[in-house]
Amino acid sequence: MEPNGNTTVLQGVSGKPVGIGTILHNIVIYIWVTISTIVYGTSIIFLSIFNTRIARSIARLWCLHLLALCGVGVTIKGAEKLSRKERYVFIANHQSFFDIPTLYAGLPFSLSFIAKKELFFIPFFGWGIAAIGHIWIDREHARKARKSITRATEKLKRRGICLVLFPEGTRSITGEVLDFKRGSFSLAFEAGVPVVPVSVCGTRDVLPKKTMLFRARQTTLVIGDPVYPADLAAMDKQTLSDTIRQRIIAGLDLKKQ
């Protein structure tokens, strides 16, 4: 809050005053998120007992509704590099909580995310993502993390889903791509499917880290050149990590041009 004459003005992350319309819009968003998380989460948990595919479609619908309410558009570039008949491991940079809804909306596949275990304890939300097969990983215990990777690989092969990894391990405050944690790339080698870099652009402006204000923005997913299983044979985890990271950075630079 900053004084402005006799008025107190709420400021956003950029330091610019936030209008009353933005504040009211955010209040509506938070009310909707609270109610919809309970409603959608309960529906997903119930439907997953009978049909996981339908439950997953409800989760995607929640993401689409959230993006629409927040005024967030999604554009995908490089979609011609993907085949609907193929299964992939997508590797993405991590800028915002909105990365996941954006990936859900932009990638026309059945997705499972590898996420930190703390998210799965959030009432309704965490229970829902567990019910539809998203996979938690315990970064503090290598053996448990290893079991999570094995479970994810089996799920990709058995259920025909695509996996999404955020190897930075946390959201970037500046928007720069942080160093990758190589351990997550074990999954890429075991899965036996193409590994695809995805540059997530613009989500940081929707909801920057350390702020609670949503903003209407256009986001973009830039699909990089996949690394195919035949090429993986000549790589180790460090080489694959460096290759994917550079392609993600190139995608972010392409969006700026």
pLDDT in tens, 30-56: 999 999 999 999 999 999 999 988 999
pLDDT in tens, 136-169: 776 665 555 566 666 666 766 666 788 898 988 7
SS3 227: strand
**Phi-psi category of 225—alpha, beta or left, where left has phi over 0 and alpha has psi -120 to 50?**
beta
- Where does the pLDDT of residue 13 fall: very low under 50, low under 70, confident under 90, or very high at 90 and above? very low
CATH number of 2-256: 3.40.1130
Q: Which two tokens stand for residue 108?
A: 């026309």
Question: CA–CA separation, 215 vs 154, rounded Å?
Answer: 38
Q: Which of 158, 76, 175 is nearest to 110 (CA)?
A: 158
CA dihedral sign, ordered 121, 125, 131, 136: negative
- Where does the pLDDT of residue 5 fall: very low under 50, low under 70, confident under 90, or very high at 90 and above? very low
Contacts of 91 (CB under 8 A, 6+ apart): 165, 167, 188, 195, 196, 197, 198, 244, 248
Q: Is the CB of residue 75 less than 8 Å from the CB of residue 83?
A: no
Q: Is the pTM of this model over 0.75?
A: yes
Looking at residue 181, the DSSP 8-state letter turns out to be: P
Whole-number pLDDT of residue 139:
61
Whole-number pLDDT of residue 148:
66
Query: What is the side-by-side order of every strand in the sheet holding 195-201?
Result: 73-77, 218-223, 195-201, 89-92, 162-165, 111-116, 135-137
